[in-house]
Each structure stands twice: as C-alpha cells, then as structure tokens.
Amino acid sequence: MDLQILVGIFPQVLLDGVSLGFMYALIALGYTMVYGVLEFINFAHSEIFIAGAFVGVEILLGLKSAGVLEHLPWVVLLLLVLLAAMLVSGLLAVLIERVAYRPLRAAPRLIPLISAIGVSFFLQDLIRLFESIWRNAFNLVYPTIDPLTVRFEITSTIDVPLKTLVVIVAALVMLFALQFIVKRTKLGKAIRAVAEDQPTASLMGVNVNRIISITFLIGGAMGGAAGVLFGVQYGLINPYTGFIPGLKAFTAAVLGGIGNIPGAMVGGLVLGVLEAFAASYLSLLTGGAFGAEYKDIFAFSILIVILIFRPRGLLGEIVRERT
C-alpha cells in the first residue's frame, strides 16, 4: 500500500466530500425545517428536489436548442436556472402541503406519512409521464456549461472544476441566508414560535397556516436549488434519481439533529465526507477486497455508531423545560 498515494489524493477526496456534503445539507434543510415546525417527515421532499433538477435541465435544454446557451455568461445562466428551480420547487412544496398534508393535520402521525409516500410516487411518475411525452426520454443529461468545467489546478495531483466551487459557494450562501432569516427576522421568530406551540403562536396573532406554507416554500426552494446543483455537478438525472440523495439527506438531517438548521449542514458534511472517503479509500486500504460500492455500508455504519452515542444527533439540543 502506497502511503504517498493515500496522502496525495486526500485533499481531492476531501473536496469531493465537502461538495457532496453541501448538496446533502441543502436537501436536508427541507426535511429539517418541516420537521422542526410540524414534527412530520416530508417524504415527498426527494421529489421536490428532483423536480428542481428537471426545471433546470428543461431551461438549459431550451436555451441550448434556441442557440443562446453559449452566449449567456455562466453566472447569469446559473442564477436564472437556480431561481426558476427554487420557485417551482418551493411552490410545489406549498401545494403538496395544502393538498396532501393540511387536511390530515389532526389525524394520527402515521397518516400524513403515508400520504407523503403517496405524493412521492405520484410525483416520480408524473415527471416520468411528462418527460416521456415531451422528450420521449427517461434519462436527461444536463447540457455542459463550458466555463463551469474549467479546472483550477491546486497542485500537480489536485484540481477542481469551477462547478464544484460553485456548488460549495451557492450552498454556503443559502445556508447562511436561511440561518439569518430564522434567527434574526420577525418571520424567523414566528417560524420558531409555531414550531414550539401552534395554538399559543396563534394567540400572538401569528397566522399559523401561513407560516407553515412559508416553511414549505423555503424548504422546497432549498431543495430545488439543490436539484439544479446536483444536475450541474453530476449531469445525469431521471425521475427516480431523487430517492437516494433524498434518503441520505434525511439521514444527514437526523445525524445533525433533526429540526436544527446548522445541524443539517454539519450532518450533510459529515455524511458527504464519509462517503467520499469510503469511495476512494476502501479499496486502497483493503487491498481491493472492498470496493467503492461498499461506501454506503461504511458511511452508514459510522452513522449508526454516532447515533447510538448521540441519539439526538450531533447538534440536537436538549432544552430544559419547566412547567
């Protein structure tokens, strides 16, 4: 085993893990915000995420066939696609809550969960139906935005494509913006109040249903943005692509402490980095006995161990409550 190789690829692997982790973090926010407010796991969030990826690919493909893709600056392109995906995914999340969850709010916990799983299947097949009619395609490939593939050489063995940096920066900006909204604005205070005690929040004059809709809007928008970044980074999407990243992001949210926004970021990063290291190092360290395909087993084993020792998640808080 060559120590030099192990050390040499370390920064590259770390960078891959971090960018993957930020992607998980962005998706995890959707789970964690909704859970924070309703104590409900929105299983349809993986499809809200992938819907954003589809909005992005459709716009880019449209621009490409109109012949303008190459002529627009990449920043403009990316912002346009991100905003459109955030809008569509955000509104989709609001609509789902309105139609599939709100009527069930008084029902036992399990019932809206089943409804969410139903919505998830429904959306997968709706996207599939749409794409098969509209493009007669199942898999779609993000058109390359050439400037984003430019690689920055850090050392002779490490280089990063611009798109990876874009993913990291975009995710950081959104995470901090969200944290600011929740901690520092009146809207954020209302969200936290509703999360804690809905009837009492309404006694303060908070329109609880509106705050819940806004929570879905924000979580959905973050998911949509993650969808675009996923497409830009990995290229290939299909209607079922959302499932696995969704599940992992949910895990990241639990790992970080579900309901906790910085927790989603930490959980996402830990999971992303673990996964990247497992993918690159498992086979090197075991002399090829375990290949990269075991990365999930390795990453999730570590997660289980962490959760055994910290069942509330890494940043899950214990609030002392007196009555």
Number of alpha carbons in the 13 Å side-chain half-sphere of residue 119 = 25
Q: Which residues are bridge partners to 153 per DSSP? A: 159
Phi-psi region of 67 (alpha: psi -120 to 50; beta: other; left: phi over 0): left
Residue 159: strand, helix, or coil: strand
Positions in 257-296 near another protein (CB under 8 A): none
200 is an interface residue for another protein by CB under 8 A: yes
Query: Least distance in Å: CB of 200 to another protein?
Result: 4
Report which DSSP code applies to 241.
Answer: T
Could you say which of 15, 201, 237, 278 contacts another protein (CB under 8 A)? 201
Could you say which of 59, 165, 206, 306 contacts another protein (CB under 8 A)? 206
Query: Least distance in Å: CB of 182 to another protein?
Result: 12
Write the CA distances from 301 to 50, 157, 160, 221, 283, integer angstroms.
Answer: 27, 30, 29, 31, 17
185 is an interface residue for another protein by CB under 8 A: no
Per rule CB under 8 A, count of chain residues that contact another protein: 23
Total length of the chain: 323
User: Which positions ≥6 away from 93 have C-beta within 8 Å?
Assistant: 30, 42, 45, 48, 216, 217, 219, 220, 221, 223
Would you give the distance in Å from CA 150 to the centre of its chain?
Answer: 25
What are residue 153's phi and psi, to 5 degrees?
-85, 125
* Cα 43 to Cα 64: distance, rounded to the nearest angstrom: 33
User: Which positions ≥6 away from 312 have C-beta within 8 Å?
Assistant: 257, 318
Query: Least distance in Å: CB of 186 to another protein?
Result: 8
318 is an interface residue for another protein by CB under 8 A: no
How many CB atoms neighbour CB 297 within 10 A?
12
* Cα 227 to Cα 219: distance, rounded to the nearest angstrom: 12
Could you say which of 108, 136, 155, 321 contacts another protein (CB under 8 A)? 321
Could you say which of 67, 199, 287, 288 contacts another protein (CB under 8 A)? 199
CB closer to another protein out of 23 and 37: 37
- Taking CB under 8 A as the binding criterion, the range among 49-57, 186-194, 276-284, 305-313 that sits at the site for another protein is 186-194
* Cα 13 to Cα 74: distance, rounded to the nearest angstrom: 26
106 is an interface residue for another protein by CB under 8 A: no
221 is an interface residue for another protein by CB under 8 A: no
CB closer to another protein out of 36 and 245: 36
Query: Least distance in Å: CB of 107 to another protein?
Result: 15
Could you say which of 67, 108, 205, 287 contacts another protein (CB under 8 A)? 205
CB closer to another protein out of 35 and 230: 35
CB closer to another protein out of 2 and 321: 321
- Taking CB under 8 A as the binding criterion, the range among 8-16, 66-74, 183-191, 277-285 that sits at the site for another protein is 183-191
196 is an interface residue for another protein by CB under 8 A: yes
207 is an interface residue for another protein by CB under 8 A: yes
108 is an interface residue for another protein by CB under 8 A: no
Place of tokens 């936290």: 192
- Taking CB under 8 A as the binding criterion, the range among 79-87, 136-144, 205-213, 238-246 that sits at the site for another protein is 205-213
Binding site for another protein (CB under 8 A): 186, 189-190, 192-193, 195-197, 199-208, 319-323
